[in-house]
Amino acid sequence: MRMIQARGRAAELPESRLRRIHELMLTARLLEGRLVEAVRAGEVPGELFPGLGQEAALIGFACALDDGDVFSGAHRDLAALLGRGITVEQLVLNAYGRGASPSGGRDGGIGLGDPGRGVLMVEPAGPANHQVAVGCAMAIAARGEARVVMVSCGEGATAEGSWHEAVNAAAALRLPVVFAVQSNGFAGRVRSAAVSALEYVAHRADGYGVPGVVVDGTDVLECYSAAAEAADRAREGGGPTVVEAVSFRRLGHSAADDVTADPDEIEAWEGRDPIDRFEEYLGVRGMLDEAGRTATRERIGRLVEDTIEWASRADEGEPAALRVFAEGGREPPPVSRPPGTMTMRAALRHTLDAEMGRDEAVVVIGRDARAGGSHDVTAGLMDRYGPTRVFDVPGGAAAAVGAGIGAALEGLLPVVEIPDRGLGEALRLLGGWAGRHHWKTGHPVPLVVRVASRPGGAPAPETLVAGVPGVRVVVASTPETAAGLLAAAIRDPNPVVLIEPERLYEARGPVPGDVRVPLGRARVVRRGSAVTLVAWGAGVAVALEACRSDDTVEVVDLLSIAPLDWATVSASLQRTSRLVVLDEGPPAGGVAAELAGRAAADALWALDGPVAIVRPSGADAPFSPIRADAHLLTPVQVAEAVRSITSV
């Protein structure tokens, strides 16, 4: 086996950096080995995914970045986190789930990040972090900054669609991203050959028109040079590179798993141990002798043991605060525009235009956003604000939402447009990233996701996303509420999903010059004394038409699905004693079921009869227009439900 050599950018490393790399590799090896023992002994809860034997790739890659760059790691990247400045104390506290850990005990293992250091949180959602990294790079490129994003994974993640979408988007947009892959012979609990017929992952880069580089994952200097050169290329506007480090995984998929490699394989790879190889190089350079090697190992070993002992006795703290939504929000001067009557499409477009003119951080993201988007809401914004404010993202809804999250983490205020059929694929990012980020790190993600909702679609988008912690969900019912909710969502520090019923885009209505619709609040749109009729979205117009000749019906426009404004509904029930819910979603579960459950739990003694729920059949809307219209709820059906409940 040849001795490693300092070529390329590694030849420029001063002695102090070489010593630091050595210490980081040793620290990662000793710390991770000790944590594996603690997991197996039952001292540490949860899971740990060890990267023992991959220190050369992880440290080499991480150290190739500059201080201002962004790093997004995977579940096996403890060593890389050390290389980016996360401390031993932070990692151990988080592994033990202590109250003083970076995540406040909310997450374990290496599920932490440090936004101040440009280290994104580690989220076990597979390669979804790649789409977030693309968003970070979009923001960096739009501002013309000489910064780079490195996003890391194993070869198993490169078989998932989100990895491919991210590489394709970064290539098409020439974004400053380094896609780092640690190929360790396995994809989860199976051999790598089970997920790809390619000999090397880096060969995938050819299909996207970007460079793919394969390096020896046991040679830290080769890994450093390849990553540094890829970062230089990205920094100079050359676009992304896929860098693959070939190494080996000595242990199982997680610390609790049995070893999955053959003994002969392990022995062969042990002969190429990355730390032994680097220490041999340092010795030849006259930088490390046996006494120094022993002293360094003993010093780091004591640090690890002392930290583990301290963390194991540390106070677990009080149960972590829920911290579901971030408080506050921006309250700029009222937007000045002439009041008038307009369609909901126009109201949304006027609001986006006003908010983008008010704050340069507001950007628009989506497929065909520059051409107006799916429903022409963003038409004209490209001409007015240019390509650094309006972004087309290649790929589906998940790619757009991931890009929005990354852009928000970089300080922008993204407004993302997706169709309702794409909401399911975006849930992984909304739940795993947007909703959890503030919960884990204390740093919210100010993101707006506009969802165009098809009439009668199943499942209803609000049903899909209402249960995602940390994400606000609101539904527009008129041009005024669409404008007000969008403006409030942009100014809110939390991720907000704004659902826009497609059949209301042409609906006309008055829009005041300074429209304000607060998030999280329902509103009574018609007063009554005998029945509370709750609806949202396009159902509000149906509800109003149903009771046009009955002044005893009180109509509540729910507006906010998450959080649900039960206080307004409950106050209405105290006046009327009867509840009818108009829900265009599926018959199982959903918002109507939540309202009925709350009525039974909190307002049972105020009710004079059962809760009535008016719903469609639960089938998806047919294609034929006449059949699609028949699928929708009608005022006649709603009026009949009101009559039936008042006769009880």
**82-118 pLDDT per residue, tens:** 999 999 999 999 999 888 888 888 888 888 888 889 9
Residue 434 DSSP symbol: I
Structure token digits, residue 284:
């030849």
Helix (H) or strand (E) holding 320: none
pLDDT for 336:
55
pLDDT digit string (tens) for 520-554?
999 999 999 999 999 999 999 999 999 999 999 99
pLDDT at residue 332 tops 50: no
Strands 553-557 and 531-535, bridge-based pairing: parallel
Verdict on whether the full-model pTM lies above 0.85: yes
Of the candidates 338, 385, 392, the residue with the CA atom closest to the CA atom of residue 369: 392
Mean pLDDT of the chain: 90
Contact (Cβ atoms closer than 8 angstroms) between residue 585 and residue 597:
no
Taking residues 632-638, report their average pLDDT: 87
Taking residues 15-37, report their average pLDDT: 96
pLDDT for 595:
94
What percent of the chain is modeled with pLDDT above 70? Answer: 93
Taking residues 32-54, report their average pLDDT: 90
CA separation for the pair 579, 569 (Å, rounded)? 9
pLDDT digit string (tens) for 147-162?
999 999 998 889 889 9
| pLDDT interval class at 192 (50, 70, 90) | confident
Hey, what amino acid is at 28? A
- According to DSSP, the residues that pair with 24 across neighbouring strands are none
Contact (Cβ atoms closer than 8 angstroms) between residue 500 and residue 468:
no
pLDDT at residue 625 tops 80: no
| pLDDT interval class at 3 (50, 70, 90) | confident
Hey, what amino acid is at 604? L
Tell how far CA 597 is from the center of its chain: 30
C-alpha neighbours within 13 Å on the C-beta side of residue 583 = 28
Residue 374: how many CB atoms within 10 A of its CB?
17
pLDDT digit string (tens) for 220-230?
999 999 999 99
What's the CA angle centered on 94, arms 261 and 186, to 5 degrees?
20
pLDDT at residue 333 tops 50: no
CA separation for the pair 470, 489 (Å, rounded)? 14
**3-state DSSP percent of the chain in helix, strand and coil, to 5:** 45, 15, 40
CA separation for the pair 449, 13 (Å, rounded)? 45
Taking residues 179-188, report their average pLDDT: 87
Taking residues 287-309, report their average pLDDT: 96
What percent of the chain is modeled with pLDDT above 90? Answer: 66
pLDDT for 230:
98
CA separation for the pair 347, 510 (Å, rounded)? 10
pLDDT for 607:
86
Taking residues 447-451, report their average pLDDT: 97
pLDDT at residue 464 tops 50: yes
CA dihedral over 448, 449, 454, 459, signed as positive or negative: negative
pLDDT for 491:
94
Domains annotated on the chain, with CATH: 8-313 (3.40.50.970), 343-511 (3.40.50.970), 525-646 (3.40.50.920)
Helices (H) and strands (E) in the chain, counts: 22, 22
